[in-house]
């Protein structure tokens, strides 16, 4: 496709915006979802950096539900379920690009 665009007289920038970016949208969407999920679930770096409970991330707050000898399972599981909502929203926002990538491979 790139070579045929060059033969048709398209510039490098036009090839990039009209061919390469649309073909790589599923990969970019996958990278966005995975990157958001990794940052959302990050635990060690905020644990090292944050010193005040006022600035704790959600994952650090979830760790507070487990004490030295007891774990508040009901509260922990409820808050863990609620913490999954932003990840699900991001996934659903990019889902059409995943489907587009799957169907693009089946077309001639």
Contact at 8 Å (CB) between 48 and 56?
Answer: no
Residue 65 confidence (pLDDT): 81
Question: Which of helix, strand or coil describes residue 69?
Answer: coil
Please report whether residue 9 resides in a domain: no
More confident residue, 102 or 76: 76
Please report whether residue 47 resides in a domain: yes
pLDDT in tens, 2-51: 788 888 888 888 888 888 888 888 888 888 888 998 888 888 888 899 88
- Where does the pLDDT of residue 102 fall: very low under 50, low under 70, confident under 90, or very high at 90 and above? low
Please report whether residue 76 resides in a domain: yes
Both tokens of residue 51?
Answer: 């010193």
Both tokens of residue 3?
Answer: 């070579």
Please report whether residue 1 resides in a domain: no
Structural domain count, the chain: 1
Task: Please give the average per-residue pLDDT across 72-80, as a whole number.
Answer: 88
Domain containing 67 equals 25-104
Please report whether residue 14 resides in a domain: no
Contact at 8 Å (CB) between 92 and 34?
Answer: no
Inform me whether the pLDDT recorded for 108 exceeds 60.
no
C-alpha to C-alpha distances, 8 to 2, 5, 18, 20, 31, nearest whole angstrom: 10, 5, 13, 16, 32
Please report whether residue 52 resides in a domain: yes
pTM above 0.85, yes or no: no
Please report whether residue 16 resides in a domain: no
Please report whether residue 15 resides in a domain: no
């Amino acid at each position: 496709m790139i070579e045929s665009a060059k033969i048709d007289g398209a510039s490098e920038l036009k090839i990039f915006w009209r061919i390469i970016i649309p073909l790589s949208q599923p990969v970019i969407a996958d990278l966005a979802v995975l990157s958001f999920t990794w940052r959302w679930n990050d635990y060690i770096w905020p644990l090292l950096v944050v010193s005040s409970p006022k600035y704790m991330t959600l994952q650090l707050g979830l760790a507070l539900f487990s004490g030295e000898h007891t774990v508040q399972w009901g509260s922990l599981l409820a808050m863990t379920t609620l913490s999954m909502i932003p990840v699900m929203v991001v996934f659903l926002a990019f889902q059409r690009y995943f489907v587009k990538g799957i169907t693009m491979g089946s077309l001639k």
